[in-house]
Each structure stands twice: as C-alpha cells, then as structure tokens.
Structure 1
C-alpha cells in the first residue's frame, strides 16, 4: 500500500480524506537491552539522529524499536504525544497502528490454522453465517488465503467512496453489520461493482481493507469468542504484551497519542478516528507492547522461550509472491506481510496511515532483525524520507549490536 510503498499510502489517506512549524519536543530514551548495548556509540548517536529526523519529517513525536534473534534490543522515543499538554512520548504511549494491524490479524488467522480449526484454502462461506459471493464470478470460492494476500476480488471502491469513519470516537457500527451491509445483496452499502472488483478470486491483486475486516469476523466465528479476546489469550498474553487497545475508549488518557497533520508548516491536531473494520486497522499499541510481536515475527516465530507460531507457519506468512496486478511499489505479497525495495534489496514490511498517523514495521528474517517505527504525523514526502532513513539507521545499528 505504499511510493515504494509510499505513493499508494498517500493516495489512500487522501482518498479517505478523508480516512484513513516543526516543533522541537522532549527527547527520552528507554533501553530494553543490557547496559553494554545501550552505551554503544551507535546507540548513543541514535537519540540525536531521531530528533533530527522527527523535525525534518514534521512529526510531533515518534517511537522506534529494534529486535534481533527474538530479543528486543532497545527502544527510543522522542517528541510529544500531545504538544498542547507538553506530554512527551514514552515507551508506553499508545499509537494508532493503522494498517500495521493487518499483520496481527493475519497472525491470529494462522494460529487458528495451526490449531486445525481453520483451513485457509477452504471456502470462507464454510465459516460464515452469511454468504460472500462475487456477482461477476458466482461459481468461484473465496478462501482465507485469498483474503490474506489481497486477492479475494473484494473491492474497497465503495469503502473509499463512503466515509465510514467516526471522528473522535469508536464506530457504533458492529463489524458483522458493516460486512453484511457491504458484501451481501440488499445491504445498505452493497454494490455489485463497488463491493467486488469483478476479478475471480486468486487471479488479481487488489488491496482490501474490507477483506481484512472479513478475516477478523471469520476469526470470531472459528474461535467461538470475539477475535480480539482470542488474540489476547493466544497471542498477546503469552508474549507479555500490554499497552494495547482495539478501541479509543479503552486507551488510558495518560497514554493517548494525539494525531497531527501539517498545515502551512504547522502541526495541527486532528481528531482520532474509529471505523467498523477494526481488524484492518484499529489497533493502538505502544512501542514496548508491539516489539515482542515484531521480535518473534522476525525470528521465525520465536522470542525468548516462547513460540508464537511454528516455523513453517511463520515461513509461509513471509513467503513473498508476485500475483498478477501486484502494485508497482511492491516486490512481493505474503500472508499479511508485504515486500518492497529497500536499500538495494527488497525488505519485508507493512506500513500504516490515517490522518495524523504514519507507522511502519520492517523484518529481515535472514538476520532475524525486526524494526518498528510509530509516529503521530501524517504521511508526507518528508515523513516518508524520515521513516526510510530511520529504518536504514536501525538496520545498521542492529548489525553493530549483534
């Protein structure tokens, strides 16, 4: 979704508008590694580098994390979670992850598959209480694999034409009601050409937020409990993850991060948004909360003594393919994760964006390095350049600290 991935991210944010003055701020650092690593010259230089990138990128605040071999080596934060309140970003500040959420939704689906409760190559209608059928290809079954790879034939065209956001609050529209209204004939927002692309499932790439919303609904149906409850029990708690929330209401006031957009070279606060397709992009998490997941994802599913996914499942998620119609800024698509050109070589990653929000996670399985970058500023040319520069710096630092 992104000009390398970035052009499409900008287009998506502007299309949703719609949805989804550089001020110096306080600088703080939290070392999650042994003191020897924290004092390494490269790590000491990181604080100054991040402060410079935050200012040049026009971001109010940011938090970054670095993991290697399943261990979180360090995290760093700088700038403000809220400028007016002069509240600095901390390791526990909860940023809106936006579409980075999809990597967690995909991981939960693979967990259900590992448990033998979900076949990702079976028709999804086997697991649903309403039928999802493309009117252009009624004889073609959609599978969870198709949804995971954005190849289901479910289109976001109507999704971008209709503003499903709730500004400053959570969406009152339940996920199941949203999906029925969008995907089932006679639904409030159903359109034969706007809800479905017309391409047969598995034949064409078409990035779909609605498709990931459907994955979360399938997860609930298969798990027998709300998919968020399942993820808490099966994914987050075993990794020791806290400081995360699927709703705006559940984010503690002291940990909230205000989104900011740039207007005439000034950072202007905007209301956070809620939307009904929470599996596609509603998770809020801190850098301290997100990094154990990133560490395990980069380390073939293991962090410390805990295994998040079996190696074959993790390898399958990160196996990159080039489906027909793959966006030009991508070099591959896996199950949830995607790939785009980095510094002379493709990098597995996922970016996320909404108004006042820009996030990125990178994985390098060859070196077991995982990186997360969370910001409360919109995606712009300047912030994209800063994100890429920070990623390069962190990969270099990971090599130095290993």
Structure 2
C-alpha cells in the first residue's frame, strides 16, 4: 500500500456508527525516523464546536500506564532496592494473604503478572484518606464480602486474572520504597527520561499540554446502555475545556 492508500484506510475508520471512532492519529517510525503520519477527525466535541485531532493530541491512556509502573519496578529491582519475589506485606505495613492460602506470600512479581489471587471487586480506587488495607479488612465499606480475593482453587502464583488492584498496590510499594508520591516519582524518573510531557493528574499538566487534551468517548446512554445511534458521550476525562485545579483527581468510586 502506498501513502494515499494508507490515508484512505485510516480515514475509513472514522465515523459515528459500527466500529467508527471520532478521531484517529497514527505515527509510524522506521530506523528511528518518522516514515508516516496521519491525523483526522476530532479529539473533542462540545455542542456544535469541535477540536481537530492532531498528531500531538493528548489522551488519557488508562491501563497502558501499567507498563510505566513496571518500568519503575524493574529500575528499583536493578538498583537493589527491592526484589520481585519480595512479600508485598513488608512494604504495605500489614500482612496480606489470600484467606484460602494463608501460607502463600503474595509477591511483587505476582502483582505485576496478575497472578496474585486478588480481584478488583466492585471498586478498586480508594480516596487518599483511606488506607489500602481497607480493601482487605472485614467490616470496611471496601471489603465487599471478600470480593477482592479470588475463589478458592485459584491460588496465588498459579492462576492468572487481570486485576487493576494489583497495580494500585504496586504504586503503594513504589511510594514506600522511594519515599515519594507515586505520580511525582514517575514524572521525575520515568516520564522525564522519555521526554514525555505527561502527568498522572490532569490539573498538573502544563496549560499548553492541557489545551491539546482530547476526550475518550463512548456511546453509552445515561443508564449505561450502548446506543449505536446515540451521540458520543464523554467519559471521566471530559473536562469541557476547563482544566481542573492542581492536585485534584476525580475517582470512579460509588463510595466516595
């Protein structure tokens, strides 16, 4: 395929129905040099107004950020500040064990590889004022009748299930080892090294970078049902062009 064919192909992916998306940007590199660039559609919509997709548009990357957490984990391991096979309990400050496997330590390697025996439950985000131990403490609003543990038979270190809570715990470990808040350490030691002008806190982005921000859209109605013919609905990152205050975050958490 030549450049014109590629342009036509990517343009065909933009649309309001089926598998269409509001906007799309593609950059391709070979041997360290840019060899192809495409950007079309919109990155944000507000009523009748829209903002075009560009090659430097910014988006919330959600769980893609997990790899950046592992970059830090591996750097700390290489520096001898932790071992991947350490019991996570020694960093959390409380003993974390699966109730059905009380003699099996849950390790950093298990957390990173989603083999920890932990599960998300209904909620896996927690306010800064609440200790992470609340997920695993009977009687806590975050206990959820033990929903953060896998069923018996799915032992830690053996059974794989993707679980976001694993990475919340890894973030907590990184804070314990480095003595710094997770997002600040990531910016100073990972993002800066990659010359990446990103942030974990939207309000802390530089104004020029926030202005490039797009919104992740879905076609779910107010009841959460997918409506193919309905309008695009912005998710938690639909700020309406107004940057949040510094040092603030919105939690997708029915308890807080």
Per the normalisation by structure 2, the TM-score is 0.77
Which string of whole-angstrom CA distances, capped at 9 and with x for unpartnered residues, describes residues 44-89 of structure 1?
A: 4322221111226321112223344555554432210113332111
Query: In the alignment, which residue of structure 2 is the partner of 1:143?
Result: 107
What are the equivalent positions in structure 2 for 1:178-189 lying under 5 Å apart? 179-189=132-142
Query: In the alignment, which residue of structure 2 is the partner of 1:49?
Result: 9
What are the equivalent positions in structure 2 for 1:92-241 lying under 5 Å apart? 92-159=56-123, 173-174=127-128, 177=130, 179-191=132-144, 193-197=146-150, 198=152, 199-241=154-196
Which string of whole-angstrom CA distances, capped at 9 and with x for unpartnered residues, describes residues 105-141 of structure 1?
A: 1222111111111101111112222332222211110
Query: In the alignment, which residue of structure 2 is the partner of 1:32?
Result: none
- 1:148 deviation in Å? 0.9
Query: In the alignment, which residue of structure 2 is the partner of 1:76?
Result: 38
Which string of whole-angstrom CA distances, capped at 9 and with x for unpartnered residues, describes residues 371-393 of structure 1?
A: xxxxxxxxxxxxxxxxxxxxxxx
Q: Which of 231, 235, 251 is equivalent to 1:275?
A: 251
Structure of larger gyration radius: 2
What are the equivalent positions in structure 2 for 1:28-47 lying under 5 Å apart? 42-47=2-7
Query: In the alignment, which residue of structure 2 is the partner of 1:62?
Result: 24
Gap change, CA 1:234 and 1:69, over 3 Å in 2? farther
What are the equivalent positions in structure 2 for 1:253-402 lying under 5 Å apart? 253-262=210-219, 263-272=227-236, 274-275=250-251
Q: Which of 45, 51, 54 is equivalent to 1:90?
A: 54
Q: Give yes or no for contact 1:62–1:89 (8 Å, CA) kept in 2.
A: yes
Query: In the alignment, which residue of structure 2 is the partner of 1:338?
Result: none
Per the normalisation by structure 1, the TM-score is 0.51
Q: Give yes or no for contact 1:260–1:267 (8 Å, CA) kept in 2.
A: no
Q: Give yes or no for contact 1:258–1:269 (8 Å, CA) kept in 2.
A: no
**Quick one: distance in 1 between partners of 2:118 and 2:146?**
10
Aligned-residue Cα RMSD (Å) equals 2.6
More strand by share: 1
Unaligned runs of 5+ in 1: 1-40, 165-170, 278-402
Gap change, CA 1:134 and 1:250, over 3 Å in 2? same
The total of aligned residue pairs comes to 225
1:248 is aligned to 2:178: no
Give the secondary-structure state (helix, strand or coil) at the position aligned to 2:132: helix
**Quick one: distance in 1 between partners of 2:196 and 2:28?**
16
More helix by share: 1
**Greater RCO structure (CA 8 Å; 6+ sep):** 1
**Quick one: distance in 2 between partners of 1:245 and 1:83?**
23
**Quick one: distance in 1 between partners of 2:42 and 2:187?**
29
